[in-house]
């Protein structure tokens, strides 16, 4: 698979086995999903806590938050 979706040979094999319309639809869906995954990877951020938080349970004891 390249960055934009399936290779020509993979696309052709898919269309030959399940039909042109269904093969095209699945190949396009795979390409869209690959683009969305790439977008999510590019925009991913890491969250770092600056101050630890604590929760108080029903018994009144402090517990570290997960």
Structure tokens at 35: 């683009």
pLDDT (tens digit per residue) in 10-66: 999 999 999 999 999 999 999 999 999 999 999 988 777 777 766 666 666 665 555
- State the pLDDT at residue 14: 92
| Residue closest to 27 by CA, chosen among 4, 51, 5 | 5
In this prediction, residue 2 has a pLDDT band, given cuts at 50, 70 and 90, of very low
Cα–Cα dist 64/33, whole Å: 38
How many Cα neighbours within 13 Å face the side chain of 6?
Answer: 16
Q: What is the pLDDT of residue 1?
A: 43
Taking the C-alpha atoms of residue 66 and residue 63, their distance in angstroms, rounded to an integer, is 9
- What's the CA gap between 57 and 40, in Å, rounded? 36
pLDDT at 18: 95
Q: Which residues pair with 25 in a beta bridge?
A: none
């Amino acid at each position: 698979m390249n960055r934009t979706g399936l290779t020509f040979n993979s696309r052709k094999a898919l269309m030959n086995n399940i039909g042109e319309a269904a093969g095209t639809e699945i190949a396009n869906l795979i390409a869209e999903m690959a683009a969305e995954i790439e977008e999510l990877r590019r925009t991913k951020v890491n969250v770092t806590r600056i101050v630890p938080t604590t929760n108080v349970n029903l018994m009144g004891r402090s517990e570290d938050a997960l």
